[in-house]
Amino acid sequence: MRIIRHQQQDYRASIKEQESIVAGILAGNAEPTLIMTEHPPLFSVGTSGSEEDILQREIDGEGIAVFESGRGGEVTYHGPGQLVCYVIDDLRQKQDLHKHVWRLEEIVIRTLADFNIRAVRSERGIGVWVDEKKIAAVGVRCRKWITFHGIALNINPNLKHYSGIVACGMSDNPVISMFELGSSADRSNVEDALTRHSALFDKLT
């Protein structure tokens, strides 16, 4: 899987880049790709979400943009201190979106284990959880069995920003970060670990 890294990326530019890779795979001139990036503070609204779940657009004097994302899921937050991983994969031979989401969760669970954080799945919803709090959100979109969008892993974001939304439809806003769990890992450490585990993405069962 090809890997692209951005220090920070405008959300619209990110969607445009993903759309271009999806079109390239369908045309036969691009390959599955993992994009690792970060966004300025924003709320993204999924296809099951509603702007009614956006409670505030300014927190601590900082304005937070709102975007329709096109991915599955409800409303979530992206911002500095969060590693966003977009996985553009070709499922035309597999056609199992549930397995794709399971693999996205699995590479995060394995990555966090490298930092002595025991993460799990939860009946509360898709994503990765620690002590019943969500540490990584997962949302995907699929076009002609080419997937895009992906994972948002909280390393050390401003968790106050989550107070501006009903995150993933959960009014109790159960979110956590690696930093809150006592980890001093920085983004480069986490990227390295996630890259190792994503190399086995298609072999995870």
- Alpha-carbon distances of 14 from 21, 31, 38, 46, 157, rounded to whole Å: 11, 17, 10, 15, 19
Amino acid residing at 85: C
Catalytic residue among 168, 181, 185, 194: 168
Nearby residues of 79 by Cβ (< 8 Å), 6 or more positions away: 38, 39, 40, 41, 42, 64, 157, 158, 161
For 190, residues 6+ apart whose C-beta sits below 8 A from its C-beta are 83, 111, 115, 153, 155, 178
- The answer to whether the beta carbons of residues 69 and 168 sit under 8 Å apart is no
Active-site residue 142, yes or no?
no
Instruction: Enter the DSSP assignment of 85.
Output: E
Give the catalytic positions in this structure: 168
